[in-house]
Structure 1
Amino acid sequence: MDHAIIEKYAAPVPRYTSYPTAPHFTSEVDNATYTSWVKDLGEGDRLSLYVHIPFCDRLCWFCGCNTKQTLKYAPVKAYMKRVHKEIEMISKLVKPAAIVTAVHLGGGSPTLLEPSDLELLGAKMRGAFQFADDAEISIEIDPSDVTPEKIEGMVAFGMTRASIGVQDFSKKVQEAINRPQSFEITRDVVFALRDAGIKSINLDVLYGLPFQTTERLLETVDKTLSLRPDRIALFGYAHVPWMKTHQKMIKDDTLPGTIERFEHAIMAGDRLADAGYDRIGFDHFALPSDSMAKAAADGTLRRNFQGYTVDNSDALIGFGGSAIGQTKNGYVQNIVATGQYQAAIDNGDLAIAKGFELSDVDRARGWVIEKLMCDFKFDIDQFVQCFGDLAPTILNDAGYIAAADQDDFVYITHDTFGLSDKGKPFVRAIAAKFDTYFGQGNARHSKAV
């Protein structure tokens, strides 16, 4: 592909795990707002629960998550007590018949939790909410934290899917991002999880890392493929040192340039597809037998703050510092600083710092953006049926976007707006054209490729 076109569409844009995106959340949405939103959930609504564990025993320099390093366990234990209390507070607002269909533990490193604390968390959650028998329960795993006892604890917690960070197996790259993790450690954890009965395993691989070359990246991809995970996320490293100051440890001149980064993404993706994985959106891959591949095939794939998902819940309830939630009314985010989060909970308050209340126009544009991010197209008749009088203005936008396209990236027919194969790698940039908030304020984003 022409390098000028790549540079043109690689300009920073959001990742669109929500619409509007988090930089547009405001303090106008507060504890009282969220309380009313949770009370507004229906009797039979499906709930997805997210628990944020913002602690690691090492600080990886590439990390873009809200986390902090601790070498002592006492702060983790104290923090979890507040999470338990928050769970109890929220559960009293939710109608009893609401049912939990998904749980995700993220971080940080959830595997930092001792088995006894993981068991207690599970008991608190199941005591507070009604769980579906087939609820998907996923945990983000740092292999360096894993012991046989912790695997037993995760199985007892009910884990059905494990998500393991790989990043890159090259020693030079690992040194540059402060993430030592051998292939052998990762392999042994994958095997142990399978021996324990965990049938769904996801591995995360990053491109765009310091000192990453084509040879190093493809070697990592091949080693990842040798483990035959059910899903593989091929993320582009988001270099945002103005927001995550520890990323300043990664020098700009060690990073691949825009063209090299794009070529790495294409080559790695092709290697995964050639190995029998279905392409899911712009950065996920799954075996055809996996539920995510099936969702992509039948048009039910979704996107939320964890990225691509099969989670079709009516509300996402977040617990812990910085956790983000979503209801039909809008989005909320908890206080980021763990000390302030805990103080709010100790005071008997919810810990909402900010959020966004959705308008009908927001819902309509969000629907279009999510369809593009998941399916690379949207059905015009379906859009009109869902949003009625709101549709014409947005469809006019679609017409202008298609008319202005000089690179054959998009197309529009009487019933479909979509992206060509050439345009699919740049779906974030195309989606941004439907975003009326993009460019407002001082928000800065990572590269679109």
Structure 2
Amino acid sequence: MTPEPMTPDLIDRLGGERVPRYTSYPTAPHFTSDVGPDSVGAWLGSLRDGEEFSAYIHVPFCAELCLYCGCHTKVVRRYGPVEAYVAALEREIDLVSDRLAGRPTLRHLHWGGGTPTMLRGSDMRRLVERLRGRFAFAPDIEIAVEIDPRTLTPAHVETLAAIGVTRASLGVQSLDPEVQRTIRRIQSVAETARVVEWLRFSGIDAVNVDLMYGLPHQTVENVVATVDHVVGLAPDRVAVFGYGHVPWMKPHQRALPEAAMPGTRERLAQFEAAALQLGRAGYVRVGLDHFARPDDPLALAMAAGRLRRNFQGYTTDATGTLIGFGASAISSLPQGYAQNLADIAAYEDAVRQGRLATARGLVMTPEDRLRREVIERLMCDFAADLDAICDRHGVAAAAVFERELAMLDDLACTGVVHRVGNRIEVPDAMRTLVRSASAVFDARLSRGPGRHSASI
């Protein structure tokens, strides 16, 4: 039976609903100052010798500010502030390591930003050596880095190869000239292709490309044209993110012309056109908004039911601990979440004084862990067996999720979910609304204005 497509009414009603992206549960708006440096220090002390973990290094600097950006970053014109920040990162690595009971093994390392390659090659090498001095590195460690192709040089690529980078993610967003002028990100097809060539020549074969839909002046036609250019680069993965317009959180977004932004139905049409084109090119849709070659580890993890989701999006990372280094970086540990001070000067001052830079966080409850697993399976598999999940957590689905099951029945009437007993599925035609289905299980969700970006 062919699944029923979304009706215009459903697109308008749920597509504009403001719900989290669920890269974590509970989500960051619920973090409080009740979790501070002492709490996190105690949590770190439980990380065992040889236990695998992941790390994220946040570099909050860019050469210029793109108007769509929702990241914690700032523009710098000289290297002095960056150099001081590198020293703070070294100090934080030491502070974290000093609180560990043993020498855990680093399995995944992700450099994010901002623009990580704002760092000099010598400073990137220093930080990796600091990590190697404090932690064991897995023999097959994955090291990923986010790249702005407009500022990358052959010297940067040489550094990335030298520090063992295995995967590079290139920010592209759109290759349409009018869209680029509007968002203040001028980036040609040729310079993007040149960077891909440099990376592969250096031995960094795994290349991701990040695209966006829903930007001012984007249309189905120019989104498809961008996808066609990108497919010509033969990346391993492509992410197609919806632009999140949150000017109350990111004031620079007010410079974007709202009248030129596509509405919910047009946004959905743009995404579906991109997904169709990528499917025709042989990419497998992974989760909500990622696409990968069939033999890519991300696609294989999805096929095996091992796909995970964390602050970097969809991932193969199955470690139970992620340690974030840098201003605003978030750590996820078995006990809960912790976020560093977002202000760079305050972050640097904290670590200079020998304190962990934790500003806020959240202690996970047993119910949080249960709901997190349900939401993660929905976001990754578009299905969740509530009985099986609840059995793993020692509770009965009917007792815990009575309200949610009633809400799911309401969603089932619109076709967003199918429910057979306590097993729920999101049909292929409704996958774009999986965030709305996941929100049913979010016991902490605040639906007030200004909290989250639109569902589509």
Fold match (TM-score > 0.5): yes
Letter in 1 for 2:101: K
Structure 1 residue 414: deviation in Å?
4.1
* Bigger Cα displacement from structure 2, 321-330 vs 385-394: 385-394
What are the superposed Cα offsets for residues 256-302 of structure 1, whole Å, 9 maximum, x if unpaired? 11110111111111111111111111100000110000000001110
**What's the counterpart of residue 88 of structure 1?**
94
**1:2 to partner: Cα distance:** 1.8
> One-letter code of the match for 1:59?
L
Summarize deviations over 1:10-35 as a string: whole Å, max 9, x none: 11110001111100000000000100
Cα displacement string for residues 356-392 of structure 1 (whole angstroms, at most 9, x for unaligned residues): 1000000000110000000001123431331112633
Cα-to-partner distance string for 1:92-126 (whole Å, 9 max, x where unaligned): 12233411000000000001111111111111111
Please tell me the residue identity of whatever aligns with 2:377: K
Give the partner amino acid of 1:201: V
> Is the counterpart of residue 201 in structure 1 residue 201 in structure 2?
no
432-441 vs 16-25, which deviates more?
432-441
Match of 1:314 in 2: 320
Per-residue CA shift, 1:193-218, capped at 9, x if unaligned?
01111121100010001111111111
1:363 paired residue among 363, 369, 386: 369
- What is the match of residue 346 of structure 1? 352
Distance across 1 between alignment mates of 2:304 and 2:362: 30
Q: Select which of 105, 108, 130 maps to 1:124.
A: 130
Matches within 5 A, 1:172-321: 172-321=178-327
User: Are residue 434 (structure 1) and residue 410 (structure 2) matched?
Assistant: no
Cα distance in 2 between the residues matched to 1:345 and 1:402: 47
Offset at residue 398 of structure 1 (A):
4.6
Q: Tell me the distance in 2 between the aligned counterparts of 1:440 and 1:210.
A: 25
Alignment partner for residue 156 of structure 1, among 158, 162, 165? 162
1:49 aligned to 2:55?
yes
Unaligned 5+ segments in structure 1 are none
The aligned residue for residue 445 of structure 1 is: 452
Which of 10, 14, 18 is equivalent to 1:9? 14
The answer as to whether partners of 2:117 and 2:152 remain within 8 angstroms in 1 is yes
Secondary structure of 1:18's aligned partner: coil
* Partner-residue secondary structure (3-state), 1:106: strand
Tell me the residue number matched to 1:389. Answer: 395
Aligned pair 1:408/2:415, yes or no?
yes
TM-score normalised per structure 1? 0.98
Give the letter for the 1:156 counterpart: A
Q: What is the identity, as a one-letter code, of the residue corresponding to 2:428? A: D
Q: 1:397 to 1:288 in 2, by over 3 A?
A: farther
Tell me by how many angstroms 1:43 deviates: 3.0
Measure, in 1, the Cα distance between the counterparts of 2:262 and 2:448.
29
**Corresponding letter in the other structure for 1:39:** G
Distance 1:440-1:237 versus aligned 2 partners, 3 A rule = closer
Corresponding position of 1:331: 337
The match for 2:378 is: 372
Match of residue 117 from structure 2: 111
- Structure 1 contact 361–390 (Cα < 8 Å) conserved: no
Unaligned runs of 5+ in 2: 1-5
Q: Which 4+ stretches in 1 moved above 6 angstroms?
A: none
Partner residue of 1:147? 153
Q: Cα distance, 1:144 vs. partner?
A: 1.4
Instruction: Tell me which residue corresponds to 2:3.
Output: none
Cα pair 1:409 1:421 within 8 Å, conserved: no
Letter in 1 for 2:9: A
Residue 72 of structure 1 pairs with residue 78 of structure 2: yes
For these two proteins, the number of residue pairs brought into alignment is 449
Which shows bigger deviation, 195-204 or 95-104?
95-104
After the TM superposition, which of the residue ranges 345-354 and 39-48 deviates more from structure 2?
39-48
Question: Which amino acid in structure 2 is aligned with residue 178 of structure 1?
Answer: R
Partner of 1:26: 32
1:145 to partner: Cα distance? 1.6
Deviation (angstroms), 1:320: 0.5
State the shift of 1:64 in Å. 0.3
Native 8 Å contact 2:409 2:419 kept in 1: no
Q: 1:167 aligns with which of 173, 180, 184?
A: 173
Determine the C-alpha separation between the residues in 2 that align with 1:339 and 1:441. Answer: 31
Measure, in 1, the Cα distance between the counterparts of 2:233 and 2:222.
17
Residue 374 to residue 397, structure 1, CA distance change in 2 (3 Å): farther
C-alpha displacement of 1:400: 1.4
Whole-Å separation in 2 of the counterparts to 1:139 and 1:390: 42
Give the structure 2 partner of residue 425 of structure 1. 432
Q: Deviations over 1:67-111 (max 9, x none)?
A: 000011110011010000000110112233411000000000001
Instruction: Provide the C-alpha distance between the structure 2 equivalents of 1:12 and 1:398, rounded to a whole number of angstroms.
Output: 18
Amino acid in structure 1 at the alignment position of 2:7:
D
Normalised by the size of structure 2, how large is the TM-score?
A: 0.96
Quote the offset at 1:441 in angstroms: 7.0
What is the rounded CA distance, in whole Å, between the counterparts of 1:275 and 1:435 in structure 2?
36
319-328 or 384-393, which deviates more: 384-393
Secondary structure of 1:143's counterpart equals coil
